[in-house]
Amino acid sequence: MKLKYILTISLLAAGLTAVRAQEVKLNIPGQTPSAAPAAPAVVYPDAQLVEEFGWFMGKRVGLTELAFTKTEVEAFLKGIATAASGKDSPYELEKIGPAMDEFMQKKQAAYLGKMKSQSLAASNAFFTKLKENKSIVELPSGLRYEIVKPGEGAFPKATETVKVHYTGTLIDGTVFDSSVQRGEPAEFPLDGVIPGWTEGIQKINKGGKLKLYIPPQLAYGDDGKGGIPPSSTLIFEVELLDIKATPAAAAMPVAPGAK
């Protein structure tokens, strides 16, 4: 389970900027405006600092994703207090360990199941809306594609290697991978990437651009990769720069989006 957390002091800077933006400036004719007084440094009580540290640790270990009940949260805090006091574990780790692993696995499975259901519901709604776009072609596999700019010449085969520029996004617009942002094209043997790519890139020829709308079963299925949640529909905008023969001993690359 990938647990994400964000902690940044830029929030404090943003708040300070907002306060400064509201300061009233007096411009008296013939008088040089004096420099605005520096804002006093914010002093936080120790209790607030510890509270923030607790929030940070809670986000880091993924308490929200684990969906603890009120009673479970109280038990968790009791364990924290025991550790903070320097006392030994309240139970024998060797004995309780397997049961604790099973409990946490169930929590993780419930979280992933919830994410899967949400992703599938969002994907179904997305593809239903996508039917309104008549320029999008739907293939029997479930893959959808749209030609953005036709290319010229031959189309790539599944046994060949393609050189591409691409940007991959989730259906909410979140970019999870982009050779464009890295400023360097990528090369992939077409039979070594996700099925949606293998099938989709063969629909454009050299110099062309297309968009791929890849359902979960042609992407990473129930698994997540990098910033890709389980059961996600992926959207790729791809420019095919070149087509090459795949060397016989070429190492299999990481598929687009996998980090």
Q: Which of 145, 166, 188, 213 is catalytic?
A: 166
pLDDT for 4: 33
Q: Which of 111, 145, 176, 188 is catalytic?
A: 176
pLDDT for 7: 31
For 70-88, write each residue's pLDDT tens digit.
999 999 999 999 999 999 9
pLDDT for 64: 86
pLDDT for 30: 44
pLDDT for 249: 59
Find out whether 130 and 143 touch, Cβ atoms under 8 Å.
no
Q: Which of 145, 177, 228, 243 is catalytic?
A: 177
For 44-71, write each residue's pLDDT tens digit.
999 999 999 999 988 888 888 888 899 9
pLDDT for 253: 54
* 194 noted as active-site residue: yes
Q: Which of 188, 220, 228, 243 is catalytic?
A: 220
Tokens of 120: 């599938």
* 177 noted as active-site residue: yes
pLDDT for 35: 59
| Structural domains of the chain, ranges and CATH numbers in brackets | 138-245 (3.10.50.40)
* 111 noted as active-site residue: no
pLDDT for 63: 85
Low-confidence ranges of the chain (pLDDT < 50): 1-31, 259
pLDDT for 65: 86
pLDDT for 150: 94
pTM over 0.85: no
Residue the block writes with tokens 């095919």: 240
* 220 noted as active-site residue: yes
Q: Which of 188, 214, 236, 243 is catalytic?
A: 236
Q: Which of 111, 145, 188, 194 is catalytic?
A: 194
